[in-house]
DNA sequence: GCTCTAGTAGAGCGATCACTCTAGCCCCGG
DNA sequence: CCGGGGCTAGAGTGATCGCTCTACTAGAGC
């Protein structure tokens, strides 16, 4: 078995979907990259490409949520933490040649009007991200509705930053967003000096 | 000729790329929807799918820039205008069943790591949007660097809003972003009361 | 009337797509 | 020693992909 054929398939699928999108990723290529026999794919995922994609999205979405949470928890000051998160995203972009960004966004835009089951999966992932962030901001004494607005701003800006920075192959947009979003969080803090 | 086979091809291509992405759009389907003979496609676009996509992206990108500029110019107060732009985007999403959003973003994410010529086209379009918005904000007396930051925030939030709202099929994220971004612009105004 | 070009029209190319099918391997309980 | 399920393994399916090719038509210039 060795590290699990199923896990290798999910990982390779997540990477392929992140970089080439859903329609642009071939199942053959995914099996080759995960060194899995083609037949195993349909053994583990009888639902085919859609089921594999759903699993890959959920796996990558949970992993990314953990990553962001870790960065945010690294700093006691929430304003600094928000800035750090955008800086970390910018650094990852540069380090991977602008290939590794959000593992969900590309697929989410592709399937939003063409594949209802996958659209629902992406919606659940984004909602779980927003819930986590809303709780994080609310924990700083920010009112729930305001905390939710900031969570939406955080995720939307991060995703927009990935889009602009990947297209331009420059981290400047992501860095600028880090400053602006951090300021917005600062302004929403109850006892901001 | 009748309204131009070439124009119909570009329009149909832009719509298809917006809703289904680049890899998910077939040339056959585009020719059918534009009622153009398949041979004409390669007569007008000898470069094939890439050349057609480049033209469609540029056409749609210029049109969308005009649309946003029109909404922004409709209100003399820039803060209100920014809010109106997000409200208009939310309204369009609802009216089209969350199908018509940004004509560039989906393709931009798809091609960012897989198709260098198209990546450059999307970069140029985003940069032209940012230039226009930066000038608009600078015209309100905001310092150039700050105006650029706000332009990046505006575009990133709009794109992020499209992503979140399309995935969730709810306009709440887009509306929340309208409030937050308008506030950020308000705060950056030189003589804000 | 003639040619020449722009554009129409679509059959057909090899390649690749998602997916199905059969066959065989390995290991475990009996 | 045997049988059966979990998994490997890949050939083969029809459909569709982007693209090429040839043939044809309409109108302008001489």
pLDDT value of residue A1: 46
Instruction: Tally the residues of chain B.
Output: 193
For B161-178, what is the mean pLDDT? 98
- The yes-or-no verdict on residue B193 having pLDDT over 80 is no
- The yes-or-no verdict on residue B164 having pLDDT over 50 is yes
Which of B149, B159, B177 lies nearest to residue A153, judging by beta carbons?
A: B177
Helix A49-74 to helix A5-20 angle (10° resolution) is 80
Non-local (6+) Cβ contacts of B66 within 8 A are: none
Q: Where are the domains of chain B?
A: 56-188
pLDDT value of residue A2: 53
Residue-averaged pLDDT of chain B: 95
Which of B123, B150, B155 lies nearest to residue A160, judging by beta carbons?
A: B155
- Does A153 contact B at CB distance below 8 Å? yes
**Tens of pLDDT, residues B94-104:** 999 999 999 99
Nucleic strand D within 7 A of Cβ B42: yes
For B17-31, what is the mean pLDDT? 97
- The yes-or-no verdict on residue A193 having pLDDT over 80 is no
Closest chain A residue to the Cα of B100, Cα to Cα: A113
Q: What are the Cα distances from residue A29, in Å, to A49, A149, B176?
A: 12, 40, 40
Nucleic strand D within 7 A of Cβ A186: no
The CA distance from A130 to the nearest CA of chain B, in Å, is 10
- The fold adopted by the segment(s) A53-188 is Tetracycline Repressor; domain 2 (1.10.357)
**Tens of pLDDT, residues B39-93:** 999 999 999 999 999 999 999 999 999 999 999 999 999 999 999 999 999 999 9
B123 contact residues in A (CB cutoff 8 A): 167-169
Q: Please, what CATH class does the domain formed by B56-188 belong to?
A: mainly alpha
Residue-averaged pLDDT of chain A: 96
Q: How big is chain A by its Cα radius of gyration, in Å?
A: 18
Residue A183: Cβ within 10 Å count: 18
B122 contact residues in A (CB cutoff 8 A): 167
């Amino acid at each position: 078995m060795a590290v699990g054929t199923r896990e290798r398939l999910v990982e390779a699928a997540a990477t392929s979907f992140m970089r080439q999108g859903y329609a642009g990723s071939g199942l053959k290529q995914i099996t080759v990259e995960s060194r899995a026999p083609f037949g195993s794919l349909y053994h583990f995922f009888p639902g085919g490409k859609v089921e594999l994609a759903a699993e890959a999205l959920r796996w990558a979405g949970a992993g990314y949520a953990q990553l962001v949470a870790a960065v945010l928890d690294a700093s006691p000051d929430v304003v600094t933490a928000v800035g750090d998160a955008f800086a970390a995203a910018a650094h990852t972009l540069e380090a991977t040649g602008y290939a590794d960004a959000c593992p969900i966004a590309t697929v989410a835009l592709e399937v939003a009007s063409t594949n209802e089951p996958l659209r629902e999966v992406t919606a659940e992932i984004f909602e779980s991200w927003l819930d986590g962030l809303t709780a994080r901001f609310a924990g700083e004494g920010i009112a729930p509705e305001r905390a939710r607005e900031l969570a939406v701003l955080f995720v939307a800006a991060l995703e927009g930053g990935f889009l602009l920075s990947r297209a331009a192959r420059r981290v400047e947009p992501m860095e600028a967003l880090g400053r602006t979003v951090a300021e917005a969080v600062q302004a929403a803090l109850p006892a901001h000096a």
